[in-house]
Structure 1
Amino acid sequence: MTATSAGGGSGARAGRGARLRAAIAAVSGTVDRLSEVSRAKYQNPYAALSWPDSVDPGADWFFTPEITSLHGTPHQPEPDSEEFRRFAFLEASNFFSLNIHGEKALMEGLASRLYRSDLLEISDYLHHFLDEENKHSVYFGGFCRRYGTLYRSRNIPFPAEGDRSVADVLFFAKALLFEEHADAYNVHQARDERLHPLARFINQAHHADETRHLVFNRAIVQALWDTHAPEWDAATRDEVRDRIGQFFVTTWREYYNPDVYADLGLADPWQAAEDAWNAPSQRAHRRNYSDRCLRFLLSTGILQKEPADAF
């Protein structure tokens, strides 16, 4: 993908740089407030949680049953059974694994943008963002390493973009999608009194920081889009929109993990994943949990239509 504009010389580049700095400065007040809250709410992940020696996946709930990926499908285990609780534990391991993989990519992208000249206005908050994602990985990794499984990611990375403006929009848009979906699950599960206290704690601790990340992600994605998209040609804008739509779908696809279904003992885990993805109850579930994120992307013009096959 190559981003082009009507004026591609040094003057045009300087103009784009000035507009980006102005856009970043416009959100820096928000970013400064987020940094203040991050400092005030800092939590040491090594002191905040005392890990149990063991857990019993067949006796306790570790994932809300109504939001498991097989809920409402023919493959769903018997309600309130030991098998369903074991499946919910596997779903918790998958959810935490998805967060580990997503946050690893997020930390790499944030670190590469620290102190970049055009992002200096937000560099302080990028430090907090990076630190908090590392802290989250301590929780998620601690759970998977002690009790569960660190499931592999099947997400195939897109090729790196040569054009920095395109790469920035795609990176922060992907971060937005990943964190919006995960936080919706965190909020639900932090409030679910049926869950084991460990599961509730991890979800609540993640959500506490994600509230700031979501505000930042929306602000920076809109600032970058409003700055760069008018300078791209129509083909580039369309391709960026297509890529964001693909991110949207692939982010959800990983919640339907054949490896989880194999560990559950299903005879054809790949078919189960496809059946679950296409189940009306799961399509409705994805729409419900994507609502706020999708409304933001459509209302800002970043997306012009719903991503194909998401619902």
Structure 2
Amino acid sequence: MCLLMHLTVAVPLLVSALPIPRLTCDCVYKGQIFAHGLLGLMLTVWPSCLLAWTVEGDFHELHSFMQSYVGVFHLAIAASIFYHGPGKQGRSFIFARLLSAFFCLFTRLFAAYHLSEKSTRGLLISAEEETSDERLTALCAETTRYAEGKTSPYLMNALYADAAMAFCYALFHFAFPQNILKLVIKPSLDLDSHHYMWCRVFGALWLTPAVGSLIAVHAPPAFQLTHLLQRLVVQVGIFVLHVYGHWIINVFSPNHITAFMIAGFFMSFHISTFYRYKKAFAAEPKSNISARVEIKKMR
């Protein structure tokens, strides 16, 4: 059953990443949504189905709860792909996900090596080239946006602030998992290598919004909205998990209240930023269409 669930998630992701000639853009789009959505749901709702075999002894509540934080990121990626719609995604945003995926893979391999004393070799990833027409269209849309004065200092500063916070989250969770978990988890709960691994994976996933927010400052409006939607889903999910862990399953110590307040502030910040962006760029699709028409006339 565990192997079947892994294959169900892995096959759509691999097929969508490989340059298969007969594979349509719509199939790639649906495959990515299905894979990320299913993986996010399983890590959030039923984590023992995937990873109980990686824990020796009892797979207790804290193991499941920590994996839920990772599942939130996959649900956010699925939501952002769905919101963006079929078609090419920005290579810069794909690079941000690739960077997080690399550190997640490194973390898991390091944990496996540490526990089993066996080394593992990595993967080779290839990417498709973006056509000159798509680059020209994106550049035209960005130029139109700047010419019409739609970029405000608040929105740019919000993305820079988000990138700074995300880098801090990534650094602290990846570099100091023992310190963070011992500070916020109840002393009565025993921590093991599995917990530290998932804390590092959580930190590695923060590289996606960190790099993505820096890139989004100069990205076309459609990509900015997609990125901000992903950030909003992540922050709402993390805040809900903080509430669930503190008051429902009661795994956090009183020190966790600081992290809870930061998560709440960060969530309200992203709600405000997303809706301000959405309002500011409400008419952007029309300008994108006119930009494409002008490009065709130039030919």
**Structure 2 length-normalised TM:** 0.33
**The structure with more helix, counted as a fraction of residues:** 2
Asked which structure has the greater RCO (Cα within 8 Å, sep 6+), the reply is: 1
